[in-house]
Amino acid sequence: MKKTSILDVISRKLSPFILLFGFYLVTYGHLSPGGGFQGGVVIASGIVLLLLCQGTERVQKLFPLTAVSFTEALGFFAFLAMGFLGIFLGSGYLSNFLPIGTPGEVPSAGFILVLNIVIGLKVGAGITLICFYLFKEED
Amino acid sequence: MPEGGIVLFIVVPLAGSFFTLLEKIWPDRRITKPSVLLVFLSCLLILLIYAKPIFQGEEYRIILGNWGGPIGIAQAMDGFAWVGLFLVYAVTFLALIYAFSDKTYDSSFYFFSLILTSGMAGVILAADLFNLFVCLEIVGISAYILIAYAKKERSILASFKYLLLSSLGISIFLLGIFGIYRNTGSLLFSGVAGYFASPTGSARETALILAALIAGLGVRTAFIPFHTWLPEAHSQAPHPVSALLSGVVIKVTFIAVWRLSVISGSLEVRNFLLCSGTITALVGVFWALMQKEIKVLLAWHSVSQMGYIIAGFGAGTLLSVSGSLFHILNHALFKSLLFLSLGLVIILTNEDSLKKIGGLGRKYPLLALFFTFGALSIAGFPPFNGFVSKKLIMVGLKEHPAAYWTLWITSVGTLASFTKLSALFWKKLKKQPLSQSTPLRKGDLQKNSEEEVFQISSMKKAGLNKTAAFFPLVVLSILCLITGLFGRPIFEMLHFLIFRQSPSGIFNPWTMENLWETFLVTSLGVFSYFLVTSRGGEVFQSRIRSLRLSLDWTLVFLLAGFISLGLTVFLSKLP
Amino acid sequence: MKRIPQIVVLVIFSAFLFYSLQVDSPAPQKARDYLLQNGPKETGAVNLVTSIYLGYRAFDTLGETIVLLVSVSGVVYFIGKKQ
Amino acid sequence: MLRIYLILILFLLGVFGIILCRNLIKKVIALNIINSALIILFIYLGSLSGDEAPILLDQTGIIVDPVPQALMLTAIVVGICVTALALSLVYKLYKAYGTLDIQEIEKKARENA
């Protein structure tokens, strides 16, 4: 079955916008509907679209496997470290220690904004890795 | 010690697991073992710091992160949780030291076990239903991976069956959380207590909620309708993992069942637990007696000893409840001692069926000694700890004669199956065991193949570091002995931890009548051992062994258990 | 055939659920009313769902990222390496 | 009243599937059906007490109960992780036993034991 070039072109053009939308969902998580998980999954779907259409080798140049698994592990321990900071600076484990700012503007949720970004990257990397390993074994 | 420190029990193993991940990136710098040692020593240290206030009856309840309002996650640390945490850290520490001795376990094994430890600490400290759900999921997912760690066919199949069964159980548990949230609007255990004190929902909804909560947790505690996954999963896991699973993981989920049934205060759940516990004990020991593989026999024994614990809790009298907590502690000690010591036997002879090994006592007297420590304490022999806690449960069960006599027969069965297991060490095989050093001539092999013959390889040849393997066995044997000798003070301490008042009567296990009863049980046990290993017995054993439960039947058992629990609660709630 | 008793148990299970699961009235709204007043003040987030799962109940999210990390390393452990 | 019965039928569909299907992948799919049925159940409960998204930016009506939505985020990701692990176990089982039918796998396992 000859590989048509439509998929190739479309995926290359479409996935940057998917990734952009994913990052929007992550960073605006505390204002508009969205947040770490939903944004992370949208980022993962952008990368998986590339995986499906371009095949695993070419995607590995853009998202090398070691870097993705590194962000995943680091994301979890950044979350853990934020918890510890909560003890020293805030009032208890996982409590807010950054200034809250006025609710409604972008830099407003302090602790939650940083956690959102950490979770977004981690879920994105995690689900890409799962799909990557399940696809990679196929070809 | 500020109560904010409770969360350290969950977070310190997590921080430790970070270093085991680092080893994947820099494999040459060996940081896994020191980080595991550091994690467990610091956790035990924090536990000791909390010991003094806890034993004076202090209790810590915190909302994580000190957020206001009814939404925060609550955690509670009381005496009962202290005993659970001590159990988790002590037994996991010794099992991981045992794993140090075997080089096949690389850094990812310690990563999964550290996450398992933090999940178990989370289950014990949870005072919030949804947090309990998440921690159960953490314990579950790391247990699935650890069971299938050896990547053998049978262990992957056992892990997949366990995954399906406990995922269905967790979904039923979610149904229970749904019911609680719908009626109380909060997920805290205090909300649950408030609901069961004055149920706003109708009788049928309370029945659904209670049955869903207890059945969801029951799958992980393996009492009778939900026990089907345990023998396969515990026997196919690597040796330190099966010691961990039998010794600690099922106890931790039973602590959650204990908490929920105490909060719900419903008598029907207690009676259900009593009769299901006694049946589990009997079924467990009966099937254990029939097995020919060492670890399957031990796994069936975990089922039957859990039956003791559940029946003790179900009876509800002061003596039997503290006896069952004491038995949780003792069972974790001697069951992990048995799994670890027999794991060494299996590694050395790389044979795990009872029929093919014999006469190990002469070659490995130390191993035989550790095994006898574990076997005597599980069978309930006087100086060891099984004797004290089993006597407590039996005395507490006096009012329920049916349960009393079933558990009495179970102790006879336990003794019979452990004489069968000890045949490993004293029974001479027809053919002398070939030691590794004698060169095997080609002719020699055919001649011996029909008799049961095995090669004993020495510890070094099997690639085991002797001290790391024997250290946990020594510590566990000493602990078994100490908790046995100082049975009464420990019992009084546990009694105080649960009921906040010291025990009324003086419980003295060392009466002549108890010793006479143990002697009777021993003689009956040895007699039934010979009965079982007789000609007819062997045929009967192989027929029972051939009964295998397929996966969909285990799921149907789960649903049947859930329905029976729901109906008993519903029928009793009818006005 | 062997499936009959299984189907019987399943039918009883469904009947029990149909009979006992009731969702006629919404849950008491203590949490939502509390959040309406001092949700944004305490956490600064306007989206209440995010303020719950990253603020009030951040520990559940921590537990869940552990599950994700363990599951990914489990998949890598079973499928990743070429023996 | 119909909505709750539809959700319950979806849940029971999953339970029937996980027990009666012989193909392993169908059992994993049935597990997902059970998980999504529970998620819909919780969200449906939350939606009973209001009709607007829980965002406090110039909202007019009564907002929906946000707590079940936050809980279900966790349940969704837990469902994904368990499915991913189950699929990798199914893959290893397929490589080991050569078939996806649970009864053949159990027959083969009994022979080897």
3-state secondary structure of C46: coil
Q: Where in chain A are the domains?
A: 5-136
Of A73, A83, A87, the CB nearest to B21: A73
What is residue B446's predicted lDDT score, i.e. its pLDDT? 39
Query: Which of D4, D34, D71 to probe by mutation at the B interface, max B CB count within 10 Å?
Result: D71
> Using a CB-CB distance cutoff of 8 angstroms, which residues of chain D are in contact with residue C30?
none
Residues forming beta bridges with residue D52, ordered by sequence position: D63
* DSSP code for B437: T
- Bridge partners (DSSP) listed for residue B62: B75
Residues 5-34 of D with CB under 8 A from B: 11, 15, 18-20, 24, 27, 31, 34
Q: So what's the pLDDT on residue A83?
A: 83
Average pLDDT of chain C, as a whole number: 86
- Under 8 Å CB-to-CB from B3, ≥6 apart: which residues? B60, B61, B62, B77
Answer yes or no: are the C-beta atoms of B285 and B304 closer than 8 Å. yes
d(CA B386, CA B479) in angstroms, rounded, equals 12
| pLDDT at residue B447, as a whole number | 39
User: Touching check for C46 and chain B: CB below 8 Å?
Assistant: no
Local confidence band at A139 (pLDDT 50, 70, 90 cut-offs): very low
C-alpha radius of gyration, chain D, whole number: 19
Q: Which residue has the tokens 């699973």?
A: B245
| Residues whose CB falls within 8 Å of the CB of residue B304, separated by 6 or more in sequence, listed in order | B280, B281, B282, B283, B284, B285, B288, B410, B413, B414
What is the bridge-based pairing of β-strands B60-63 and B74-77? antiparallel
CB contact under 8 A, D19 and B550: no
Residues in chain C: 83
Separation between Cα atoms, residue D47 and residue C53, nearest integer Å: 18
D87 with A134: Cβ contact below 8 A: yes
Q: What is the amino acid identity at position B304?
A: S
Q: Which of C6, C23, C24 sits opposite D19 (nearest CB)?
A: C6
Residue of B nearest to C5 (CA): B556
- pLDDT value for B429: 67
For testing the chain D interface, which of C53, C57, C61 should be mutated: the one with the most D CBs within 10 Å? C53
Mutant choice from D58, D67, D106 vs C, greatest count of C C-beta within 10 A:
D67
DSSP 3-state of C47: strand
- Give the separation between CA D68 and CA D53, rounded to whole angstroms: 13
Interfacial C residues in 1-30 facing D (CB < 8 Å): 3, 6-7, 10, 13-14, 17-18, 21-27, 29
Residue at D84: amino acid letter: A
Residues of A in contact with C59 (CB under 8 A): 93-94
Binary contact (A104, D57; C-beta < 8 A): yes
CB atoms within 10 A of CB A95: 22
pLDDT of residue B374: 87
Cβ neighbours for B507, distance < 8 A, ≥ 6 positions apart:
B319, B392, B395, B488, B491
Residue B533: CB atoms within 10 A of its CB come to 17
Residues sharing a CB contact under 8 Å with residue B155, sequence separation 6 or more, in sequence order: B147, B148, B149, B236, B237
Q: Which residues on A lie below 8 Å from C46 (Cβ)?
A: 30-31, 103-104, 108
**Structural fold of domain D9-51+66-112:** Helix Hairpins (1.10.287)
State which residue of chain C sits closest to B15, comparing Cα positions: C66
* Minimum Cα–Cα distance from C25: chain B residue: B182
Q: What is the pLDDT of residue B532?
A: 81
The verdict on a CB contact (< 8 Å) between A129 and C75 is yes
Of A79-88, D15-24, D100-109, least confident by mean pLDDT is: A79-88
Do the Cβ atoms of D45 and C27 come within 8 Å?
yes
Q: Given this model, what pLDDT does residue C82 score?
A: 63
Residues A24 and B537: their CA atoms lie apart, in Å, by 71
The predicted pLDDT at position A62 comes to 84
Which of B42-56, B299-313, C35-49, D27-41 comes out lowest in average pLDDT?
Answer: C35-49
What phi and psi, each to the nearest 5 degrees, are found at residue B435? -85, 160
Three-state DSSP at B243 gives helix
For the beta carbon of residue D53, count every other beta carbon within 10 angstroms: 17
Distance of residue B64 Cα from the nearest chain A Cα, in angstroms = 6
Domain range summary for chain D, segments of one domain joined by +:
9-51+66-112
Q: Residues of chain A whose C-beta is under 8 A from some C-beta in C?
A: 29-36, 69, 72-73, 75-76, 79-80, 83, 93-94, 96, 100-101, 103-104, 108-112, 115-116, 119, 122-123, 126, 129-130, 133-134, 137
Backbone angles phi, psi at B517, to 5 degrees: -65, -40
- pLDDT for B106: 84
Structure token digits, residue B483: 């908790």
**Which amino acid, A45?**
S
Cα–Cα dist B361/B366, whole Å: 8
Q: Does D112 touch chain B (CB under 8 A)?
A: yes
Determine, for residues B566 and C16 on separate chains, whether the beta-carbon distance falls below 8 Å.
yes
> Are the beta carbons of A32 and D80 separated by less than 8 Å?
no
**Tokens standing for B554?**
């285990």
Which phi and psi angles does B188 have, rounded to 5°? -75, 155
Between chain A and chain C, the number of residue pairs with CB atoms below 8 A apart is 109
Residues with Cβ within 8 Å of A54's Cβ and at least 6 positions away in sequence, in order, are A8, A11, A12
ipTM summary value: 0.94
C neighbours by CB contacts (3+ pairs under 8 Å): A, B, D
Q: How far apart are CA A60 and CA A69, in angstroms?
A: 12
The domains of chain C are located at 27-83
CB-based contact D55 A32, cutoff 8 Å:
yes
Distance from CA of C46 to the nearest CA of B (A): 16
* Separation of alpha carbons C76 and C55, rounded Å: 31
Q: Which residues of A touch D91 (CB under 8 A)?
A: 134, 137
D81/chain A closest Cα distance in angstroms: 9
Q: Which two tokens stand for residue B284?
A: 């467990």
Q: Check if D87 contacts A (Cβ < 8 Å).
A: yes
Per-residue pLDDT tens over the stretch A126-137: 999 999 888 876
D110 Cβ contact partners less than 8 Å away, ≥ 6 residues apart = B548
Best C6, C57, C71, C83 residue to mutate vs chain D (most D CBs within 10 Å): C71
* Residues A39, A25: Cα–Cα separation, whole Å: 5
Strands B455-456 and B434-435: parallel
* C68/A123 Cβ within 8 A: yes
* Nearest CB to C67 within list B138, B182, B567: B138
Rounded to a whole number, what is the distance in Å from the CA of A133 to chain C's nearest CA? Answer: 6
Distance CA(A109)–CA(C40), nearest Å, equals 9
The span from the CA of B120 to the CA of B229, in Å, is 19
- Rounded Cα gap, residues B77 and B53, in angstroms: 11
Torsion of CA B340, B341, B346, B348, to 10 degrees: 120
* Cβ–Cβ contact C22 with B under 8 A: yes
Per-residue pLDDT tens, chain B, 575 aa: give them: 566 778 888 889 998 888 888 887 777 777 888 889 999 999 999 999 988 888 887 888 888 877 777 888 888 888 889 999 999 999 999 999 999 888 888 888 999 999 999 999 999 999 999 999 999 999 999 999 999 998 899 999 999 999 999 999 999 999 999 999 998 888 888 888 988 888 887 888 889 999 999 999 999 888 878 888 888 888 889 999 999 999 899 999 999 999 998 888 888 889 999 999 999 999 999 988 888 888 899 999 999 999 999 999 998 888 888 889 999 999 999 999 999 998 888 888 877 787 777 777 777 788 888 888 888 888 888 878 888 888 888 888 888 888 889 888 998 998 888 888 888 777 776 554 454 444 444 444 433 443 445 666 666 666 777 788 888 899 998 988 888 888 888 888 888 888 877 777 777 777 788 888 888 888 888 888 888 888 788 888 888 888 878 888 899 999 999 999 999 888 888 76
Minimal Cα–Cα distance from C66 to chain D, Å?
10
Residue of A nearest to D77 (CA): A37
Integer Cα distance of B125 and B132 in angstroms = 9
The number of beta carbons lying within 10 Å of the beta carbon of residue B49 is: 12
**HEC states along B86-139?**
HHHHHHHHHHHHHHHCECCCCHHHHHHHHHHHHHHHHHHHECEHHHHHHHHHHH
Which residue carries 């995954």 as its tokens? B163
D48 close to C26: Cβ distance less than 8 angstroms: yes
**Bridge partners for B232 per DSSP:** none
The closest CB to that of B66, out of A77, A83, A91, belongs to A91
Chain C residue closest to B181 (CA)?
C27
**Cα→Cα distances B213→B29, B55, B356, Å:** 46, 30, 44
Tokens 């779907």 sit at which residue? Answer: A45
pLDDT, averaged across chain A:
84
Q: What is the pLDDT of residue B144?
A: 94
The contact set of B with D (CB < 8 A) is 71, 130, 134, 137, 140-141, 144-145, 148, 151, 153-154, 156-157, 159-160, 163-164, 167-168, 171, 174-175, 178, 181-182, 548, 550-552, 555-556, 559
H or E stretch at B47: helix B32-55
Using alpha carbons only, how large is chain C's radius of gyration in Å?
22
Q: What is the pLDDT of residue B317?
A: 84
Three-class SS state of B292: coil
